[in-house]
Amino acid sequence: MCGIVGYVGEKEATPVLINSLKKLEYRGYDSSGIAVINSAWNEDSSDEAIIVRKCKGAIKFLEEKIEAELVKGAINGKVGIAHTRWATHGEPSDLNAHPHTDVSGTIAVVHNGIIENYGELKAWLQSRGVVFKSQTDTEVIAHLLNYFYTQGAEGVRSENTRGDIFASVHAARQKLVGSYALGVICKDFPDRLICVRKESPLIIGLGQNENFIASDVPAVLEYTREVYFLEQDEMAVLYNDHVDLFNAYAEKVVRQPFHVDWDISSAEKGGYAHFMLKEIHEQPKALHDTLKAHLVTEKSASGGKEGKPVALSFSDEINDADFKKMIQNAKRIVITACGTAYHAGVVGKYAFEKFARLPTNVDVASEFRYRDPILDKDDVFIVVSQSGETADTLAALRLAKSRGAKIIAITNCVGSTVSRESDYVIYTLAGPEIAVASTKAYTTQLMCLYMLALCFGSERGVLSRAEFERLLTELESISDKAQNILDNKTEIQKFASKQFNKSKIFYIGRQFDSANSLESAMKLKEDSYMHCEAFAAGELKHGPIALVDKDTLVIAIATEPSLYEKLASNIIEVKSRGAATMVITSDTSGAFDSCCDSVIQIPSGESALESMLSVIPAQLFAYYCSVLRGNDPDKPRNLAKSVTVE
Ligand code: G6P
């Protein structure tokens, strides 16, 4: 997730762009940059036609970098684009920051989204002599545009692109696979700004003798409340006095602008009351993006549509041959992390043991680092960390490295310390997580752990080809199933409104469901401050049942049909002692109807994978209880998002 803004109008563009960009810092903040068409430039001058300034770190560093030039009037231009980045391809650096330009500096581009076929396009451009400067997927767009703009487009539905920037953008977008919102400027057209979107959001702000583009409404609210929400595959050309909208076929469309009457803070949250709720709702996309980055599909014979998934590839981040050798030699998996990431590791243990038949240990990093752990060079050490900066996790990683283990990191932050110090890195493409209680980072960590477990299982011959492909198809369905749960969230809200005053809550489950219940309980503790614990259901009778009375709520997670009966017995035991009961289940046969006060249905499938979906109702339950109890779900008391000290 990144933030883009663009301006065309009567004012100097740079201060407006920087000001607007700051409103989008919640979308990414590891580097930023601007590009403006230089109003002093002409064919005979030696000046840059498009002035580009970029900087690693928060927007304030970019501001500091350009301050002196701005005062001197050295960055003057009335048309420009700017970007705040959350790295996905290439570490945060000045070079990888957007905007990106073609080799001649004629065209500049900002991009939000992921170009899935960038490797293919890069090779195609390199074979035509293009030299790349950055490691980003976005740079291919700048070069592709320049190629079409100077050479013409072959084989795309747009006959004459030479010298026509609009036609070049239209042709280029037909070559791009993935998600994108693009802002494009061209030195030969100093009166306009072009934009296009697919999947990633983009809005157009309509001002008086000025117009804007932005990834989100807050960026323009200071200047205008009249906006167009650009629809899927639409393009637009902005001039200072008007905006032309076009559909996917480059035909003009006309519609009325939308008047925004929300305040800035609710606009930043995309209309959701809190970042936590917004991030819970972002899970289908985050899960889709994380899987898509590694899923190899067979192109179906008809129409070139994506076919069934056949493999997983980590080759963007990883040298395949070394990685495969490590998988073959692995004797044991050791997973280490803290907090939510540790809970993901517990699920990972079940996944590696089931799908790859490899013994797996999972450890809390703060314990691991002081235990003088037994490690060997054939142990694969997996470190899981949303931030990539947690002190205990880093110490555990360094210890494992010093003992010769191979390190795989799963992290959400490109360029983080964990990512730099590991042998291999798999990124969760969740985008920035603002709410302290982790939601989309957890489910995307699970997605990565499942992908790795299946990859190990397939490479080591534990999973047959047919079984591997079946499981990949199941994984592919997870994102839609997550959406289905979110579409039916009112049941959970109703249940929360009846139960938010309970004094003791227990989550129970068996196998994968027991692992996922740890994170479910954590969400409730963090956000509602209700006392909540998670137990393997079979352990209830060995102690915890002594606590059960009429003030207790027991929430069971049940996604494995062969264990329904056993779990139902556990629920009956607590119900007969006065507890209120709810089950989160994929069962559709009514197995829990008689013993549960409430049944939350989640979609069914391969239970070892679908179990991860059970956490979504639990996240929602925690969120609603938090709000009902008058807490701030985004900033739970006493907690920090990233713990970089011991
Ligand atoms: C803090 C956060 C948790 C997080 C944990 C590990 O305690 O409040 O939400 O799970 O750190 O963070 P990491 O960035 O390493 O995943």
Q: What is the pLDDT of residues 522-538, one digit of tens each?
A: 999 999 999 999 999 99
Burial (Cβ within 10 Å: 0-12, 13-18, ≥19) of residue 353: middle
Residue pLDDT, tens place only, 15-25: 999 999 998 88
Q: Is the pLDDT of residue 226 over 90?
A: yes
Q: Is the pLDDT of residue 158 over 70?
A: no
Could you tell me which of 492, 514, 517 has the C-alpha nearest to residue 625? 492
Q: Using pLDDT thresholds of 50, 70 and 90, give the confidence band for residue 600.
A: very high
- The amino acid present at 37, given as its one-letter code, is I
Q: Is the pLDDT of residue 45 over 80?
A: no
Q: Is the pLDDT of residue 303 over 60?
A: no
**Cβ neighbours, 10 Å, residue 155:** 7
Angle at 525 between CA 521 and CA 531, to 5 degrees: 90
For residue 359, give Cα distances in angstroms to 375, 379, 398, 456, 592.
13, 10, 22, 12, 34
Q: Which helix (H) or strand (E) holds 3?
A: strand 3-9
Q: Tell me, what's the pLDDT at 316?
A: 60
Q: Which of the listed residues 440, 642, 645 should we mutate to test ligand 1's pocket, taking the one with most ligand atoms within 8 A of CB?
A: 642
Q: Which two tokens stand for residue 635?
A: 């900033």
Contact 25, 58 (CB under 8 A): yes
- Report the nearest atom of ligand 1 relative to the CA of 418: 15
Regarding the beta carbon of 341 and ligand 1, being less than 6 Å apart is answered: yes
Q: Looking at residues 607-628, what average pLDDT do you find?
A: 96
Q: Which two tokens stand for residue 331?
A: 């004797």
Regarding the beta carbon of 393 and ligand 1, being less than 6 Å apart is answered: yes
Regarding the beta carbon of 436 and ligand 1, being less than 6 Å apart is answered: yes
Q: Strand ranges (DSSP E) for 325-371?
A: 332-337, 360-364
Q: Which two tokens stand for residue 313?
A: 């590839």
Q: Tell me, what's the pLDDT at 317?
A: 58
Q: Which two tokens stand for residue 476?
A: 């592919």
Contact 236, 204 (CB under 8 A): yes
Q: Residue 502 catalytic? A: no
Q: Which two tokens stand for residue 232?
A: 């899927």
Contact 10, 209 (CB under 8 A): yes
Contact 383, 398 (CB under 8 A): no
Regarding the beta carbon of 644 and ligand 1, being less than 6 Å apart is answered: no
Q: Strand ranges (DSSP E) for 341-431?
A: 360-364, 379-385, 406-411, 424-427
Q: Using pLDDT thresholds of 50, 70 and 90, give the confidence band for residue 319.
A: low
Q: Using pLDDT thresholds of 50, 70 and 90, give the confidence band for residue 301.
A: very low
How far away, in angstroms, is 442 Cα from ligand 1 center?
10
Q: Tell me, what's the pLDDT at 75?
A: 87
Computed over every residue of the chain, the mean pLDDT equals 92
Residue with the smallest CA separation from ligand 1 atom 8 is 641
Contact 426, 321 (CB under 8 A): no
Catalytic residue among 494, 498, 566, 641: 641
How far away, in angstroms, is 506 Cα from ligand 1 center?
22
Regarding the beta carbon of 444 and ligand 1, being less than 6 Å apart is answered: no
Contact 276, 439 (CB under 8 A): yes
Q: Looking at residues 331-355, what average pLDDT do you find?
A: 98
Q: Which of the listed residues 338, 342, 414 should we mutate to test ligand 1's pocket, taking the one with most ligand atoms within 8 A of CB?
A: 338
Q: Tell me, what's the pLDDT at 18?
A: 96
How far away, in angstroms, is 189 Cα from ligand 1 center?
48
Residue pLDDT, tens place only, 367-421: 998 999 999 889 999 999 999 989 899 999 999 999 999 999 999 988 788 998 9
Q: Which two tokens stand for residue 84?
A: 């705040």
Q: Is the dihedral angle over the CA atoms 288, 294, 295, 301 positive or is it negative?
A: positive
Contact 207, 9 (CB under 8 A): yes
Q: Using pLDDT thresholds of 50, 70 and 90, give the confidence band for residue 638.
A: confident
Gap between the terminal Cα atoms of the chain: 30
Q: Is the pLDDT of residue 306 over 70?
A: no
Q: Looking at residues 421-430, what average pLDDT do you find?
A: 93
Q: Is the pLDDT of residue 65 over 60?
A: yes
Q: Tell me, what's the pLDDT at 300?
A: 46
Q: Looking at residues 457-478, what average pLDDT do you find?
A: 96
For residue 375, give Cα distances in angstroms to 197, 246, 323, 394, 500.
49, 60, 19, 16, 45
Q: Which two tokens stand for residue 615?
A: 């956490």
- Report the nearest atom of ligand 1 relative to the CA of 387: 14
Q: Which of the listed residues 335, 340, 524 should we mutate to test ligand 1's pocket, taking the one with most ligand atoms within 8 A of CB?
A: 340
Q: Residue 401 catalytic? A: no
Q: Looking at residues 296-321, what average pLDDT do you find?
A: 70
pLDDT cut 70: percent of the chain above it: 96
